[in-house]
Structure 1
């Protein structure tokens, strides 16, 4: 019987933009669904050691890879959208200029075939860290009438992709099928006993709460991973006896509309971090050598779409 624990991490003490300032190239803010750097860094510090390999199959602008490099780990990422992959390359190069000791590489391709895209890394990864998409668009950046003094809401940087093949465009059943295939491929990359950590939160569609963490938990176990921990990663800050709100304008707007209809809707103030392990095997995995991550920092490769 595997003992399952639950912890709370105070990862929202600073807003995302502050966590990224100077550490990532400014263009990184264009991506609408970035992982919080403090979450990535805490996971990597907790579940890996210096020189080990970290993989993100849906790496976006490279948050996982950058934080791994700064912590002296090597990293590899796959990103479907080439424009985000190029930003991941730029961020890795930026980290290298800042003295990050780790190396990384980025593959532009479809991570549903990740073991085929990264065959040299099969059985080598100490950690897979990633997050699924929440749809073709997110809240992005907004200015409300409160900010501008003009009626209406202006939005920008809210779309992942215009490519209809991107998983972000798929309905929930297709999204889950694709993400399940990604997890199955990641199991091949993990060494025996390696960790898969997935950040995920529930979301609402026309007011209905979708239990994406529950779905992802089931997919991960179907892929052969063993659930060992659930960590609550706070997106709000902890002040002196109070919580510092980090909820978006739209989260608060939806919550207020719900309360006006008599529905006790609350703004989500945390990410679920699901931690799972690959079953150990009697045979030892081949040790990680530096060449597994040591292409030039920020190399962009292309794989099959």
Structure 2
């Protein structure tokens, strides 16, 4: 595999310090308040760090599962152009509003967004074939996530209430698929996205392990296997911190439910830990590299 494309990114260390500020502070003022409705948002600092490391101003960045448009917003703030796809129409509206907000705050990149199934991205964005420097995305982790809570402290001693933790009920959304269906669909999305890469371009995926019925699954490893089955080669693996780093120690930023589940697991004798990072997986398309 040709590694020339990675030669100018040697400063990208194995651990990315992307959790110094809590996610809510990273988004405050930069994204619309309505964006909080999305149950699985990418951390803005991860997106901006990856875009800055793997692209230059004027390059094209693509996110085939763009959610509220985090990848696109961070790209145009950094002077890159951006294209995204999102299955849920409601989230497309959130993306459009976030992009407008970004331009109002001085972003200079040119974005575009389409509503549709990302498994068809190579067809829908056929005019972008061979143009993308970077594809950056993250798979869904299931039909619902931890979301936000109102604890007993917040609601006068009542029960814990969850909100903003579910996708729509549309069964076409990959978030509703069982694990094998999710991986199969994500593999087709990766393959279609690879067709949009220019020579030297890369696909970056942020992903972390998940628990299914109490069992911890190595979702990053499964994504690597899936990508390789679709002709992509792993070129790098990094840890993007979700926790803060202070005086050589981690400042845990795990959600209420992450901490609750971790404590309950430990009480049952299971050596569980709250997630402190996401894997950043970087892939290249060997066929594109050898065509240079």
Q: Which band: TM-score by shorter chain?
A: over 0.9
Alignment partner, residue 99 of structure 1: 106
Deviation at 1:193, TM superposition (A): 1.9
Deviation at 1:282, TM superposition (A): 5.5
Alignment partner, residue 77 of structure 1: 84
Alignment partner, residue 232 of structure 1: 239
Structure 2 Cα separation of the partners of residues 248 and 51 of structure 1? 36
Q: Relative to structure 1, is the Cα distance of residues 192 and 2 closer, same or farther in structure 2, using a 3 angstrom cutoff? A: closer
Structure 2 Cα separation of the partners of residues 150 and 162 of structure 1? 31
CA distances 1:58-91 after superposition (whole Å, capped 9, x unpaired): 0000000000000000000000001101111111
Deviation at 1:235, TM superposition (A): 0.5
CA distances 1:163-182 after superposition (whole Å, capped 9, x unpaired): 01110001001111100110
CA distances 1:8-49 after superposition (whole Å, capped 9, x unpaired): 011000011100111111111111100000000000000001
Structure 1 Cα separation of the partners of residues 291 and 202 of structure 2? 17
Matches within 5 A, 1:208-287: 208-279=215-286, 280-281=288-289, 283-284=291-292
Q: 2:197 matched to 1:190?
A: yes
Judge conservation of contact 1:8–1:232 (CA < 8 Å) in 2: yes
Judge conservation of contact 2:236–2:281 (CA < 8 Å) in 1: yes
CA distances 1:79-105 after superposition (whole Å, capped 9, x unpaired): 000110111111111111111110101
Judge conservation of contact 1:191–1:278 (CA < 8 Å) in 2: no
Matches within 5 A, 1:50-199: 50-199=57-206
CA distances 1:165-223 after superposition (whole Å, capped 9, x unpaired): 11000100111110011011011111122110000001111210111101111111222
Q: Relative to structure 1, is the Cα distance of residues 139 and 282 closer, same or farther in structure 2, using a 3 angstrom cutoff? A: closer
Q: Give the number of aligned pairs.
A: 284
Structure 2 Cα separation of the partners of residues 228 and 164 of structure 1? 34
Judge conservation of contact 2:17–2:241 (CA < 8 Å) in 1: yes
Judge conservation of contact 1:187–1:224 (CA < 8 Å) in 2: no
Judge conservation of contact 2:2–2:289 (CA < 8 Å) in 1: no
SS across alignment from 1:275: strand
Q: Which runs of 5+ in 2 are unaligned?
A: none
Alignment partner, residue 56 of structure 2: 49
- CA root-mean-square deviation: 1.7
More relative contact order, 1 or 2 (CA 8 Å, 6+ apart): 1
Judge conservation of contact 1:2–1:228 (CA < 8 Å) in 2: no
TM-score (ref. length: structure 1): 0.89
Structure 2 Cα separation of the partners of residues 255 and 282 of structure 1? 46
